[in-house]
Structure 1
Amino acid sequence: MSTPSTRTPEEHARLLELHDSFKPVWLTETIQLGPWLPSDRDIVVEYMNNPKVYSYLFGPPIPYTLKDADEWLALRIDRMSKKGSPLDFAFRDMTRGGRAFGCVGTSDESDEVLDKDNTGYWLAPEYHGKGLMAKALKMMLYRISVVEAGKRKFNSFAFVDNWASRRTLEKVGFVVQDDMSRSIVKYGTTIPQWVLRLYLTEEDVERWGKETIEAKPLPSLVH
């Protein structure tokens, strides 16, 4: 399989077309989930330089530059699922012209290599406490990972004492693995992490299919 560094221009063009053709999903009546776009570069820089955001991520460079944003956004196009859907989605506030304010990343890694699997996310501070992330995680995991890639097992991490992130994952069904430990070195400091995992039964999959229903947008936001 090709990797981003070995992908031909033709392959990249095909992925770009698939990426840009993905139909956004309405998470709420005013918020969409859709692919990241090159035009989001300024927004990415803004949030990646906000300590209320980067402090809880695994290690974006600080200061975060437009070059960093361009490289990250380009990689979003290369990180495609087996059926050609994006794996990283931007939250967009359609009452603010579609301004991006967060990210949820799903996975198509095999269930046999859970250690490499990582369900990740971040959200702008002004949108915290609204229940958006748990809902988005469930919807994207189901639509992309469960349905398209056939996954039933998922892995995620949260910094120890980041209870908000842990509670978000637990709302989706992730469980802390008390017998597993992990830490990363971030900006010269070793930070321990919780390992959380989600195992779906076929009954869970059927239930999720009924629960992950796209919202109806406000009529004023439909073009």
Structure 2
Amino acid sequence: MANLADSEKRSPEEHKRLLNLHNSFKPVWLTETVQLGPWLPSDRDVLVEFLNDPRVYPFFSGPPYPYTLKDADAWLALRVDRMTKTGGTPLDFAFRDMARGGKAVGCISISNESDDVLEGDDIGYWLAPDYRGLGLMAKALKIMLYRVSVVEVGKRKFNAHAFVGNYASRKTLEKVGFVVQENMSGTIVKDGKEIPRWVLRLYLTDEDVARWGEEIHKATPIPLVVL
């Protein structure tokens, strides 16, 4: 994954080239109205809206709180650094409801770490409350894990966490194929408190990869109705 040193060495022309490559990612349709696409500078207000939402924030382990426009701008500035080295594909994707003017309503972040690194979180995600429980996240995770990590990076082993008690997140991961590691446990300090987390892992075989490819190729958008 790119680091600060990489960014400092990059010329303005190279930055522009990579940014154009990032923004040219062809969106993936999940439903008749919701697609996955690259994050844009214009999404800064949406990030502040949802990352401060009390229905969303408690399940995060990373972003600062309160989340400010300065935080959003800093994160969005990392888009060029968060790309695969082979295909120049983004590693952070926005869910966009095109029936609402393309408003970003969620996020998926995918890892491009090697299989040798199996400690942190290989995926991260959140959805606006109105879009939960519709099967969006599990479908999006499988598509992006396959297209980015499996195909481009060659990654087959994944590590993930969910706060103990957050059964919705655990269920989403299990639908993708992650399995809770009963002999492992993890904790994180949030708001000065130590919070226990489930450790979940996914190991893909060649057969799994082939099956995923067939499933994704045959997949069609699922209906979505949000009031």
Q: Same fold by TM-score, threshold 0.5 exceeded?
A: yes
In the alignment, structure 2 segments of 5+ residues that lack a partner are none
The corresponding residue for 2:179 is 175
Q: Deviations over 1:84-111 (max 9, x none)?
A: 1000100000111111000011111100
Q: In 2, Cα distance between the equivalents of 1:116 and 1:44?
A: 23
Amino acid at match of 1:101: V
Amino acid at match of 2:155: K
The 3-state SS of whatever aligns with 1:76 is coil
Tell me whether 35-44 or 72-81 shows the greater mean CA deviation: 72-81
The corresponding residue for 1:104 is 108
Contact 2:33 2:98 in 1 (8 A): yes
Q: Deviations over 1:97-128 (max 9, x none)?
A: 11100001111110011114521100000111
1:70 aligned to which of 73, 95, 117: 73
Question: CA offset at residue 2 of structure 1?
Answer: 5.1
2:29 aligned to which of 26, 33, 39: 26
The corresponding residue for 1:3 is 3
Q: What is the number of equivalent residue pairs in this alignment? A: 218
Contact 1:134 1:168 in 2 (8 A): yes
Question: CA offset at residue 6 of structure 1?
Answer: 3.7
In the alignment, structure 1 segments of 5+ residues that lack a partner are 219-223
Aligned-CA RMSD value: 1.7
1:95 aligned to which of 99, 106, 109: 99
Q: In 2, Cα distance between the equivalents of 1:113 and 1:62?
A: 28
**Which runs of at least 4 in structure 1 moved beyond 6 Å after TM superposition?**
none
Question: CA offset at residue 217 of structure 1?
Answer: 9.7
Q: In 1, Cα distance between the equivalents of 2:101 and 2:38?
A: 15
Normalised TM-score (structure 1): 0.92
Contact 1:34 1:91 in 2 (8 A): yes
Contact 2:120 2:160 in 1 (8 A): no
1:175 to 1:217, Cα distance in 2 relative to 1, 3 A: closer
The 3-state SS of whatever aligns with 2:93 is strand
